């Protein structure tokens, strides 16, 4: 049996996390190691997709919902301006092979986090 992802364990209440908002399909948490003044994670509750390319091919409506939730979270918890990043593959810094989006905002210097 495969070990549940860290995100599944958060939803089960096994790992403490600050869940900021939640829909039927998606939840948003504050990152515990922020790389920007605003750094939230938007995570689908469906764990069947390893990365954003699989999600886009398999469930474009869920991907669209993630983007809409990211926009709302940036407006509620930041200035409304945001950068949305999906890491896909270990070469792009993905360490948890489960699709999730980083909502980054605040005082991002030009060229920070890959420009």
Identify any residues that bridge with 21 across adjacent strands, giving them in sequence order.
28
Please give the Cα distance from 99 to 62 (Å, whole number): 11
Please give the Cα distance from 47 to 27 (Å, whole number): 12
Is 100 designated active site? yes
3-state DSSP assignment of residue 44: strand
Q: Which of 39, 98, 100, 102 is catalytic?
A: 100
With a CB cutoff of 8 Å and minimum separation 6, the contacts of 3 are none
3-state DSSP assignment of residue 70: helix
Please give the Cα distance from 73 to 50 (Å, whole number): 23
Q: Catalytic amino acids? A: 100
């Amino acid at each position: 049996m495969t070990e549940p992802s860290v995100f599944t364990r958060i939803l089960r209440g096994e790992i403490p996390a600050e869940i900021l908002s939640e829909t039927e399909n998606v939840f948003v948490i504050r990152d515990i190691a922020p790389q920007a003044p605003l750094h939230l994670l938007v995570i689908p509750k469906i764990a069947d997709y390893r990365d954003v390319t699989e999600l886009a091919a398999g469930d474009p409506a869920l991907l669209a919902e993630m983007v809409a939730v990211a926009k709302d979270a940036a407006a509620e918890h930041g200035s409304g301006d945001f950068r949305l990043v999906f890491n896909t593959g270990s070469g792009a810094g993905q360490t948890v092979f489960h699709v999730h989006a980083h909502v980054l905002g605040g005082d991002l210097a030009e060229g920070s986090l890959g420009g």
